Amino acid sequence: MRSAMRPAVFASIVFIASIVACSGPDQDVAPATIQWLEWPAEVLAATPFEARIVLSPPACHPHTFRAGMTRDESAVTFAPYFLVKRKPLICPPTASASDFAPNIALDTLLTVPGLAASDPRTFEMRASASVEPPPPSAGAGEPPIRTFGDVIVQLAKPDTSRRNAAGRVMLQIDIEGCVRLVPVGAFNPALGVVLEDQADTVGLAFAFVRGYLHDATSPVCGQTRVFHLSSRN
């Protein structure tokens, strides 16, 4: 995995260096980490597709979002960042010092250019992510690039029933005991996905999970679209 990570890390360093050079005199570049990435499990060759990302924007600063997406012969890499004005806004006052005002999560779709393939093959889906402890290959102040999963490129008739997804999650349990996974930092209950196996919750709080969204044969917590958990760490 180290050999696969190095090109992505090098590309990220070059990319960050280029955007720093393009930032204005009153702006700083703030690299961001993706908390949730969702994309089709299979796509048609040379055909654009959409990926969904969830991340937290800078607090109390005017900012402009940049997707920071690149692709090569083996992977699609997301290294999003914000152009942040140096002069901060005044954060709204809270009722008490103990009050917590969370950032509003940025939940958006990005269009990925079509991936070329002469035969069915896979591309890795990589993104900047929070990793503890950071790997030695990560540059100072830069989030490491992590493999979230892969996408299968088909020459014809891709299976569109599944969407792969991965990211760091919190557990959300409603009054009826239904378990949902919510991206870390996203406090909107609507962003939660229903866990297919409601009994398999050990070690999921703030874990990095991988899996896929699909239609269950029987509803879970009243939902047919559920998240099948493949791995956690």
Determine the Cα–Cα distance for residues 18 and 21; give it in Å rounded to an integer.
5
pLDDT digits (tens, 9 = 90+) for 14-27: 444 444 444 456 78
Determine the Cα–Cα distance for residues 167 and 90; give it in Å rounded to an integer.
31
Identify the pLDDT of residue 82.
Answer: 92
Q: What is the mean pLDDT of residues 190-203?
A: 93
More confident position, 66 or 93: 66
Token couple for 121: 């093959």
β-strand 75-78 against 69-71: which pairing, if any?
antiparallel
Amino acid present at 103: N
Q: Residue 117: which H helix or E strand, with range? A: none
- Can you name the residues that pair with 83 across neighbouring β-strands? 29, 64
pLDDT band of residue 190 (cuts 50, 70, 90) is confident
Identify the pLDDT of residue 28.
Answer: 87
Determine the Cα–Cα distance for residues 173 and 77; give it in Å rounded to an integer.
32
Identify the pLDDT of residue 57.
Answer: 86
Determine the Cα–Cα distance for residues 53 and 50; give it in Å rounded to an integer.
10
The answer to whether 76 and 123 have CB atoms below 8 angstroms apart is yes
Torsion of CA 20, 26, 32, 140, to 10 degrees: 50
pLDDT digits (tens, 9 = 90+) for 31-51: 999 999 999 999 999 999 999
Percent of the chain residues topping a pLDDT of 90:
63
More confident position, 192 or 227: 227
Least confident of 42-56, 115-129, 188-202, 209-223: 188-202
For the four alpha carbons of 56, 212, 127 and 137, in that order, the dihedral sign comes to positive
The answer to whether 58 and 73 have CB atoms below 8 angstroms apart is no
The answer to whether 43 and 115 have CB atoms below 8 angstroms apart is yes
Angle, alpha carbons 97-99-103 (nearest 5°): 120
At 146 the three-state DSSP class reads strand
Q: What is the mean pLDDT of residues 207-225?
A: 96
- 112: pLDDT strictly greater than 80: yes
Identify the pLDDT of residue 61.
Answer: 66
Identify the pLDDT of residue 219.
Answer: 96
> Which CB contacts under 8 angstroms, 24+ apart, belong to 89-95?
89/60, 89/61, 89/62, 90/60, 91/59, 91/60
